[in-house]
Amino acid sequence: MKQNAYVAGVGMTPFGNAMDKTLNDLACASIKDALKDAGIPKEELNAAYMGNAAGGVITGQVCVPGQVALRSMGIGKIPVINIENACATSATAFQQACTMVTLGVYDVVLVCGYEKLYHEDKNKTFSVFTGAIDVTQTEAITQRLRARNDAIGQALDMSGAGSSRSIFIDIYATWAREHMHQYGTTREQLAAVSAKNSVHGSLNPKSQFQNVISIEDVLAAREVVAPLTLPMCAPIGDGAAAVIVVSESYARKIGKGRCIRVNASSLHSGWDASENELPMVSGAVAQLYEQAGLGAEDLNCVELHDASAISEIKYYEYLGLCANGAGGEFVASGASSLGGRVPVNTSGGLMRKGHPIGATGAAQIVELVMQLRGEAGARQVGGARVALAENGGGYIGTDAAALVLSILSKE
């Protein structure tokens, strides 16, 4: 929906393996940084939208994770809304917070996404991702994936799905095979996404992986499910990101200088679409651009959900950054690199920054706010004024279960 809200402050922990820290440790660190960045005391908060997806599985903390984290830093009394929405968890928290501010319900709202995925028992971690599909339809999903591969003359071995890898890797491998079959996309173009994001991630001190890898490195790495190698897939991670959302009147009160406007932010769910209906993502993107009064040609930088290399390529096309089927050529040309036409995933993206699923959406907003403020350092996009975040999560039928799209701008 069209929004009238502002981001006044952002904070983020480094992403990576934080088995020595609690969920509360991570959440509180990012919240303190966001409040400090905004110059707003915690007593000014009207409400908090707390996003965590895997705490119940990994740590056993259920029902009140947000209240637990906030109470540990002396925040109580205010409404606390706990949100779980797959990989779109904290993007959903952000969208809901912006909506409540736009409607005039609150003036100052905290958004926090926080997650721990590393665990001694890897099956626990894999079970989080398995739970992001309809668990009563696992066999049906497997059969549909195999049928889609059969249709293009490919065999899909899913014997390790859910045990040695996330089932989503098989979904992404199927997307990659179909895109390669239909459009001639190459493994080198898939690898170019990973290599490009490694350059961006090397410039981000909070990125999980900071080494630069080449296209040749990506192609030579261990194959997970053909054609995807390990660097073409987002890793798990631990971490937290926080955002302070304020009303226009409050932004004027504190001085708009470093505040970033939220032009539009929308939340969508997939459905059982007919053949004549516009696909969910395409319809959602068109709606977002209309609400914001902006288009793909206005974007200066983008953070999108690169859970795999093919995910990034497909979203170039969905977002209108290039023509349908041309995503492979788009990345290979350098158009999505720093210095290119529309730099994408300047943070390093999920593949290099890391993917603590509950924190990912808020972390995208943190990166875009830094870019629009001109505070991104070595990875700064020159003259950035308009930015878009895309964050999807879960998988039901043939669609993402949840999708959040947001457009931010510098006034």
Q: What residues act catalytically?
A: 87, 355
- Find, among 272, 255, 292, 321, the residue nearest to 386 by Cα: 292
Structure tokens at 27: 């959440």
Structure tokens at 194: 């990973």
Cα Rg of the chain, angstroms: 20
